[in-house]
Amino acid sequence: MSTSFAVPVAAVSAQSTTSTIVGIVVAQESGERLAHSVIAVPSLEIHRFVNDSGAFVLRDLPPGSFPLHIRRLGYAPKELMLTVRAGAYDSLRIELTRVAVQLAAVQVHADPPCTTPGLRAVTDSGLATLLTQLRMNGQQYRLLAERYPFVYSQERIVSSELKGGETRIDDVDTVVVASQSPWRYRPGHILTRLGRRQRGELYFNIPTLLDFADTLFLDNHCFADGGLDHVDGSALIRIDLYAWERIKTPDVNGSIFLDPETFQIRRSVLRLSRNPRVSGMIDMEVTTVFQEALKSIPIVSQVLGVQRFDARDKKRQLIAGYEHHRLVGFRFVGNRPGDDK
């Protein structure tokens, strides 16, 4: 006698071993949903923004326990263990705690020598918290540029201030920039000369958000808390930075400014740590202004570069050269943050 069993196909397919987790990220103090927080499960290669309602969905997760990282500007980063049950559909509520920093009065001092660079040399807990928030600005931009590529257009105006006092417009055009710049910071390699080796145009490669999160940049600069400064009518937290003294070619000194409420980067002012061998040039400085592309996600909105020359230099008719970039267009190439499928 033989026996056979018939098992419905639907019953077999329903026994899935993968799981789904839906969740929200909120402020612990108020319960406010934190739009565009970043969640990451590195072991599963998951890195993404939550949507503009603070919600996210993680699908097709294998069973097991995995470290889950959550961060959002203005809040302390959090790590917890995510436990995934086979075939389950679970929910998760993540609460982040606001960062509290005692803000000092503005500090005014000359550039000190940087002899012990890097974050490990920072002993002030308040400054360490500010630098963590600065790195998070850069990390958010990196995730935006890599996972949600975009392009933006800038109006560019090049002008000169002549010895007679008049200003001359040399060029006006529009440039289109991709989210991922090919240039990356290397110590002492800030300047690029295009054209003939000694006479070509000298370009200042501006360290920006990607570099502020880069260990190579952080390890080659010293940092100081500049206090609560006032810039263009706004009170901003100033972080001063200085290039390591061992870097013998031009690098950057300057300041980075954060919003005291959101800890989002608002501007940077960077100048050369050493002057290059350019006849008559006194200094070079670049101011970068940032705005939100989406809530809590910063991008560049303006760049103003200035080169100043010695008025006594008879070989030049100008005493300053200016280059101003202004954001005029922005669009995502594919998905927007929070629109992950």
pLDDT in tens, 199-251: 556 788 889 888 999 999 999 999 999 999 999 889 999 999 999 999 999 99
- Please say if the pLDDT value at position 198 is more than 90: no
232: part of which helix (H) or strand (E)?
A: none
Grade residue 6 by pLDDT with cuts at 50, 70 and 90: very low
pLDDT value of position 197: 53
The answer to whether domain 119-332 has CATH 2.50.20 is yes
- The domain limits of the chain are 9-96, 119-332
The topology (CATH level 3) of 9-96 is: Immunoglobulin-like (2.60.40)
A 10 A CB-CB count for 125 gives 10
List the alpha helices (DSSP H) in the chain: 9-13, 125-147, 209-212, 215-218
- Please say if the pLDDT value at position 76 is more than 90: yes
CA 8-10-14 angle, to 5 degrees, is: 125
Averaged pLDDT for residues 94-117: 84
- Please say if the pLDDT value at position 191 is more than 90: no
Averaged pLDDT for residues 195-199: 54
The tokens for 308 are 């100043």
- Please say if the pLDDT value at position 11 is more than 70: no
- Please say if the pLDDT value at position 313 is more than 90: no
Mean pLDDT of the residues in the chain: 87
Grade residue 98 by pLDDT with cuts at 50, 70 and 90: very high
Question: What pTM value is reported for the model?
Answer: 0.88
Grade residue 91 by pLDDT with cuts at 50, 70 and 90: very high
Give the Cα separation of 289 and 329 in Å (integer): 15
Give the Cα separation of 83 and 15 in Å (integer): 19
- Per DSSP, 99 falls in state P
pLDDT value of position 289: 96
169: burial class by Cβ within 10 Å (0-12, 13-18, 19+)? exposed
